[in-house]
């Protein structure tokens, strides 16, 4: 397998992991919205309510930064990162 193919394989793996987490917090948990709302979540808000107004939103922010870092690592590993970049 060529270097490019290996790089793409890893990139695709990271994509699937990232999208799986994204799927859980944007779609998955809302399948059980009514049941989850009975539970008290962070700061005392009903759990589903908290996810819609803070939880999922904040998680997406963290997820993107995490993804960006992991992808940079993959690029570095194969020597594909850009030169002279801050």
Partner 1 sequence: MIKGNFVDNLPKIYGLYTGGFIGFIILMAICEQMGMTAKTIGICFVAFTVFIYALIGYLSRTAQASNYYVAGRQVPTVFNGMATAADWMSGASFVAMAGGIYFKGYGYMALLVGWTGGYVLVATLLAPYLRKFGCYTVPDFVGTRYGGNTARLMAVIVLTVASFTYVTAQINATGTIASVALDIPFQYAVYIGLISILLCSMLGGMRGVTWTQVAQYIVLIIAYLLPVFWISNSIGAGFFPHFMLADEVARIGELEQQFGFVKNAAADLKTVPKGLAGITKAHSAVNATPWAFISLALAMMMGTASLPHVMMRFFTTPSVKAARKSVGWSLFFIFLLYSSAPMLATMSKLSLIDPTLPTGIIGKSIAEVQAIDWYQNWNQANLMYVSDFNGNGTLELNEFFMAGKAVVLATPEIAGLPYVISGLVAAGGMAAAMSTADGLILAIANAISHDVYYKMIDPKAETAKRLTVARVLLVVIGFAGATIAAMEIQGILGSVIWAFDFAMSGLFFPLVLGVWWKRANKEGAIAGMALGLISGFAYLIWVRNGGSGFLGITQLTFGIFGSAVSLVAMVVVSLMTSAPNAATQRMVDDARVPSGAQVITQQK
Enumerate binding residues for partner 1 (CB under 8 A).
4, 7-8, 11, 15, 18-19, 22, 25-27, 30-34, 37, 43-46, 48-49, 51-54, 56-58, 60-61, 63-65, 67-68, 71-72, 75, 78-83, 85
Closest separation between CB of residue 16 and partner 1, Å?
10
Closest separation between CB of residue 70 and partner 1, Å?
10
Q: How deeply is 2 buried, as exposed, middle or buried, from its count of CB atoms within 10 A (0-12, 13-18, 19+)?
A: exposed
């Amino acid at each position: 397998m060529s270097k490019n193919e290996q790089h793409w394989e890893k990139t695709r793996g990271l994509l699937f992991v990232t999208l799986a987490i994204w799927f859980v917090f944007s779609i998955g948990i809302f399948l059980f919205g009514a049941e989850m709302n009975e539970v008290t979540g962070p700061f005392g808000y009903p759990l589903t309510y908290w996810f819609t107004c803070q939880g999922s939103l904040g998680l997406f922010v963290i997820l993107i930064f995490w993804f960006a870092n992991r992808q940079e690592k993959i690029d570095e590993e194969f020597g594909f990162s850009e030169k002279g970049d801050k």
